[in-house]
Amino acid sequence: MSSPRPIIGITCPSRPTKWAKWELDAVVIPTTYHKMVDRCGGIPILIPPGSNVEIIDKIDGLIIAGGPDISPEIYGQENGKFTNETYLEQDISEIALIKSAIKKDLPLLCICRGFQLLCAIHGGVLYQHLPETNGFEEHGGWDGNVTEHGVNIVEGSKLEKIMGNRIIANSTHHQGVKDPGSLKVTALSSHDELIEAVEVEKLTFCIGVQWHPERIEHVSLYQAFIDSARGS
């Protein structure tokens, strides 16, 4: 008998949206997330901002998805010139989910914004705009543009066991992690050494990555996460 498909919660934003003749708040997220979860054997469900944190007890794994910049007050700064779109309600909601998942040792995969938020709540700090940060001016695509670059993964890390020691990642962000706080750094970009991944070693599966693995056929990372959730 095959193992049951684990239920995977995916965070998503809520925004005013118009379709047909209606203008209402709606949850919106790229389909690449739920398609990859389904492909790897999970059952995806969406978790919008403000959801009761008790949903953690009803799922087998949690994905903190990409999205807008996190509020700089989370990591002790004021908004920079290019930090224009933040949603504190979403930040607070996702922080509660992350903390609850960690406390329960629920498999946790944090992507792009989620990776940055994971670092921030562990005492980390962000670069608010890489194109104006010395050494990272040419890091990669942002503002709707996508580029690719190499990523070197730390030997002996969980991420290295899943993906090997070097990969090609996509870049779709203008902010980056300056200081990961108490988290272990497990990957750096090959061209400018920006932090690209972190993990919590003591937990069963808690990995954050700056890139979007669901958009670049990094099936192995999602598969490892789903397999971990299946055993939770």
CA distances from 80 to 83, 119, 127, 164 (A): 5, 19, 10, 36
Q: Is 119 a catalytic residue?
A: no
Find the catalytic residue in 34, 139, 174, 212.
212
Q: Which of 40, 112, 119, 206 is catalytic?
A: 112
**Residue 212 falls in the annotated catalytic set:** yes
Query: Of 94, 160, 199, 214, which one is the catalytic site residue?
Result: 214
Count of CB atoms situated within 10 Å of the CB of 139: 22
Which token pair is 184? Answer: 């272990």
Q: Do 210 and 183 contact (CB within 8 A), yes or no?
A: no
Location of structure tokens 């509020």: 71
Q: Is 12 a catalytic residue?
A: no
Whether the Cβ atoms of residue 106 and residue 55 lie closer than 8 Å to each other: no
Residues marked active site are found at 112, 212, 214
